[in-house]
Structure 1
Amino acid sequence: MSDSTPVGSASSGFSRRGFIAGAGSLLGVMALGGRTPAWAQTVAATTPIASGAHVPALVIGTGYGGSVAALRLAQAGVDVHMVEMGMAWDTPGSDGKIFCNTLSPDNRSYWLRTRTKAPLNYFLGFPIDRDISCYTGILDAEEFSGITVYQGRGVGGGSLVNGGMAVTPKRENFGAILPTVNPDEMYNTYYPRANAGLGVGTIDPAWFDSTDCYQYARVGRKHAQRSGFPFVFVPDVYDWDYMKQEAAGTVTKSALAGEILYGNNNGKKSLQKTYLAQAAATGRVTVSPLHKVVSVAPASGGGYTVVIDQINTSGETTTTKTVTADRVFFAAGSVGTSKLLVKLKATGMLPNLNNEVGKGWGDNGNVMCGRANHLWDPTGALQSSIPCGGIDNWAAGGAFAEVAPLPTGIETFASFYLSITKNPNRAEFSWNPATGKVDLNWQQSWKQPAIDMAKTIFDKINSKEGTIYRTDLFGIYKIWGDHLTYHPLGGAVLGKATDNYGRLAGYPGLYVIDGALIPGNTSVNPFVTITALAERNIEKIIATDL
């Protein structure tokens, strides 16, 4: 790379130390606070893919679906190369940390933006976004007509930037999530496999009841239960033992230092510490960070020709490479996979893709809001950035609400929530030849069903508690965060754009294996379902296609 790394940033994607952790050797790793965490890692060397290379399996993206595919293919003896548009995030910046803090975003925070675009971008009526240097940062706030889609950028994908809420949907809801999939196999085999692979755990209820950092969640529980709503503990992939040590002051703080939106430096078990670590340990998986696939087309000699742009940390293309792959797995996330497939169909690279490509996209019913509590209900100045509970009104009102933190470092007397709802609206990606880009036809007014469903919870709580909605978090006198989603789903729906295992119609050897397969809603945070579905699909593909 010829570009220089900005001061205070993480390094470019090609560090001397490589990209991900190897699970096979846990000795000799850096211990945090004198202790080697259960998720500790070693680092496998990697070399960016060379132009002209041939690979048996090329995986586009390093998020949940791609990581599952890479691990299981490698375990089956297949050499895999993963292409990742973001950086490796494996080298500390000048502050000694890989990731920057939520309250102090710098150029590491956002993907190729010159100003931050926080999901909650006002406080007490004042805008809180700030100018930053343009850089290949960790969080992409991708703007479409009517909606901003937040996505992780880097090796590990969305696992780098989410709250780690690892929720298996209730079985009675599964038929509406993936109607062509047998729930018995998912709940007996693939959900348990995904939860084990991800390192899912649940907070110790006794510690929850006593620790200062979850006072905000206890207030949320009290208000939910007083209004007759079930409060449920939600599993997560944070290392709960590590968080207890954070609270005790014996290790470096991460969750208790507000680290979440722009990465977590210590306790969170993102994919580099789980699936990607195991994949590296096989010796059969390599990754090219800061590489972006721009074309996939059938190769004359069989397999597929893939054109890849290598970029620098300013987002500029420095090299264009052409490689061939026997099989290609699209795992660039719901938006990335859908945009790429729509482009390839429209521009004649993959003209035989069917007309379902680009359809069935949804926002998982995401909508946010805050409530202003009374002075006798303080939510705490110290708040863990890792959510651990939610309010379940799915059956009666069509909403599940995560009791979310506001880790500002000051007392806010506010309760904050991210709701997942049964919003039925679905959008479609389409190619715009005038701009040479892919559009999404979402309309912000389509969020109204989600708002109405969330109100079935919060109107009742406000009435019971004598409280009001906060109007200062998303603008001036604006109650609902109806402009965004954290949970993009769909665009290459299972059983429609693909067969029932993710094989793309019309092209043997091309597969979708990420959230694009799920038609718009999972009833809960989606990454466990994405992981479990990938486990199911790749097992069938290995057994029948290889």
Structure 2
Amino acid sequence: MVENQHLSRRRLFGMAALSAAALAGATTISSASRAAAAEKSVAGGTFVPAVVIGTGYGAAVSALRLGEAGVPTLMLEMGQLWNQPGPDGNVYSGMLKPDKRSSWFKTRTEAPLGSFLWLDLANRDIEPYAGVLDRVNFDQMSVYVGRGVGGGSLVNGGMAVTPRRSYFEEVLPRVDAAEMYDRYFPRANKTLRVGNIDKSWFEQTDWYKFARVSREQASKAGLGTTFVPNVYDWDYMRREADGSVPKSALAAEVIYGNNHGKVSLDKSYLASALGTGKVTIETLHEVKTIRQQKDGTYLLTVEQKNVDGKVLASKEITCKHLFLGAGSLGSTELLLRARETGTLPNLNSEIGTGWGPNGNIMTARANHMWNPTGTKQSSIPALGIDDWDNPDAPVFAEIAPMPAGLETWVSLYLAITKNPERGTFVYDKATDRAKLRWTREQNAPAVNAAKSLFDRINKANTTIYRYDLFGKQLKAFADDFCYHPLGGCVLGKATDDYGRVAGYKNLYVTDGALIPGSIGVNPFVTITALAERNIERVIKQDITAS
């Protein structure tokens, strides 16, 4: 109870700091009396005991626990703080009429459902801006990532799924599963504020008719479904349906941010981290290079930009302990660049390997005219088809909404499959960026697994696939983008068993880059729990003991 009171108090202090920063239009967020309380000037630069790059799940966990341990910590986030309303009174733009807030420096939005009846109705021309969702396009794979304080928690569907223990043990055999499931998964779920939908409300509300239709059709094929926990406030959603609060999930908001209802990281871990008084967040700060100095500290070169992408300043920041939480793509690129340009020459050959899209495949089915999915659809998924025990083609498929505001007769799914294929990042000197070596053919096992599942559902219901939703081609399976990038700095290979980067002291990876390409479900709870495990050991052995 005392611990809960401390967390609640810290979260309130942190939320106040976030609100104050928004009102002031500040890029520095801190609950300390002085924003630079954690810093001291050295050699014309800034020294901080600990720096965390990024503000996503692993980064937020690390910052909170470092702050609780009394370690002055600076978080560097390349995106902006999302709690300042725009001209329309909303922080985020909706999915149906996106504007520049939707996308990270694009001239046109790039929604995952690129068409309807082969017409590009979902996308809009926009001004380049530091928006909340980025689609990073490689040669044969694109990756969706969140940009802003809270990272991917700002733009995901909030599905908080703990993986099957047997598969967790298969993917991360060097991690004590009993410890994870007894201690760190419960801790992660509690701090993330994960909740479950009221099943009686689910069964009667019009907003989840689409999910009930898919459940019935799966049942006809002998397939079971399961309710999925979420970080969305289900009580708030019920009030949305009653008309007593502004709508968010029930107003087609999710991939470009939720204006209400979702407990993203800025309302959980990050708020509590700021509430310790030891954590400062600098927004619109992008780390470009990492170098270890002779005394063992790390020197970062950082660009500060404005929301239009203009570079305002170039800074140097030095720290003793450096935590990379910039995501599978960001953390891997920073280390790959450091190895290949010689600023961290002792990094091993495992950096950049073991990447995968968590077997993500999106597909859709066309229902009969007498079996509508409903004009009202919540944007927050609540149900999944669980066929992970299938020995030939394990699949966990989210029953996804398609909240178009009109009847579409479409059942949409995000299938998570067990694809053993892995990609590799390499450094491209010409562009100074990481390039992904991944081919469309490598997604064939994932497509085949998804097809085996949905072929059974189509056969049992005499339905067919939709071929008009993923671009101008006749295409039933979207295999060229993913939401769940994993790997690049795999635990026990690029790092030790607790995320310490091989070859360097006091350098850590703390995000999805540690997980080798697949975890079988939406990965953010696993990333959070693994970060909880790792930072506990690091603080005990590397920081408080030093």
Common fold: TM-score over 0.5: yes
Task: Report the alpha carbon displacement of residue 311 of structure 1 after superposing the two structures with TM.
Answer: 1.2
The match for 1:447 is 443
Instruction: Let me know the Cα RMSD of the aligned residues.
Output: 1.9
1:437, CA displacement in angstroms? Answer: 2.1
Find 1:178's aligned residue among 145, 168, 172. Answer: 172
Assess if the C-alpha contact under 8 Å between 2:45 and 2:317 holds in 1.
Answer: yes
- Aligned counterparts of 1:99 and 1:84: Cα–Cα separation in 2: 18
Provide the residue aligned with 2:234 in structure 1: 240
Q: Cα distance, 1:47 vs. partner?
A: 4.6
Aligned residue for 1:388? 382
Between 1:173-182 and 1:359-368, the stretch displaced more is 173-182
| Aligned-partner Cα distance in 1 for 2:262–2:517 | 26
Give the Cα separation in 1 of the matches to 2:377 and 2:483.
Answer: 21
Counterparts of 1:26 and 1:478 in 2: how far apart (Å)?
Answer: 46
Structure 1 match to 2:258: 264
SS at match of 2:332: helix
Partner secondary structure for residue 193 of structure 1: helix
| Aligned-partner Cα distance in 2 for 1:120–1:234 | 23
Structure 2 residue aligned with 1:310: 304
Task: Tell me, yes or no, if the aligned pair for 2:30 and 2:277 is still in contact at 8 Å.
Answer: no
The 1-side partners of 2:56 and 2:14 are apart by 23
In the alignment, structure 1 residue 401 sits paired with structure 2 residue 394: no
Kindly state the Cα deviation for residue 435 of structure 1 after the two structures are TM-superposed: 3.0
Alpha-carbon displacement from aligned partner over 1:36-94 (angstroms, at most 9, x marks no partner): xxxxxx99488588871110100000000000000000001101100000001120000
- State the distance in 2 between where 1:44 and 1:126 align: 48
- CA distance in 1 between counterparts of 2:242 and 2:221 reads 34
Correspondence for 1:87 = 80
The SS at the match of 2:266 is helix
Equivalent runs, 1:112-123 vs 2, <5 Å: 112-123=105-116
TM-score, L = length of structure 2: 0.92
3-state DSSP class of the match of 2:488? Answer: coil
Distance (Å, rounded) in 2 between the aligned partners of 1:520 and 1:308: 29
SS in 2 for 1:361: strand
**Is the Cα–Cα contact under 8 Å of residues 207 and 378 in structure 2 kept in the other structure?**
yes
Aligned mate of 1:433, from 421, 424, 429 = 429
Unmatched 5+ residue regions in structure 2? 1-8, 19-28
The residue type paired with residue 118 of structure 1 is A
Q: Is the 8 A contact 2:115 2:470 kept in 1?
A: yes
1:55 to 48, 73, 81: 48
Distance 1:350 1:361, change over 3 A: same
Q: Which residue pairs with 1:228 in the alignment?
A: 222
Structure 2 residue 210 is the aligned partner of structure 1 residue 216: yes
1:23 partnered with 2:17: no
Q: 1: CA distance between counterparts of 2:319 and 2:145?
A: 27
The 5 A counterparts of 1:254-333 are 254-333=248-327
Shift in CA distance, 143/28, structure 1 to aligned 2, threshold 3 Å: closer
The equivalent of 1:163 in structure 2 is: 157
Q: Distance in 2 between matches of 1:65 and 1:367?
A: 25
- Aligned residue type for 1:101: G
Shift of 1:101: 0.2
Alignment of 1:31-46 (within 5 A): 44=31
Q: Deviations over 1:284-317 (max 9, x none)?
A: 1111110000111112333111111111212232
Instruction: Report % sequence identity.
Output: 53
In the alignment, the residues of structure 1 paired with residue 60 and residue 389 of structure 2 have an alpha-carbon distance, to the nearest angstrom, of: 33
Are residue 411 (structure 1) and residue 401 (structure 2) matched? no
Assess if the C-alpha contact under 8 Å between 2:289 and 2:338 holds in 1: yes
The corresponding residue for 1:39 is none
2:414 equivalent to 1:421: no
Query: Would you say the 8 A contact 1:256–1:385 is kept in 2?
Result: yes
Q: Is the 8 A contact 2:467 2:475 kept in 1?
A: yes
Distance change (3 Å), C-alpha of 1:151 and 1:348: same
Distance change >3 Å, CA 536–CA 28, structure 1 → 2 = closer
TM-score if structure 1 supplies the norm length?
0.92
1:488 to 441, 466, 485: 485
What is the SS of the residue equivalent to 2:219?
Answer: helix
Q: Give the match for residue 539 of structure 2.
A: 542
Contact 2:17-2:31 within 8 A present in 1 as well? no
Counterpart residue type for residue 73 of structure 2 = V
Structure 1, unpaired ranges of 5+: 1-20, 31-41
Structure with more of its chain in helix, by fraction:
2
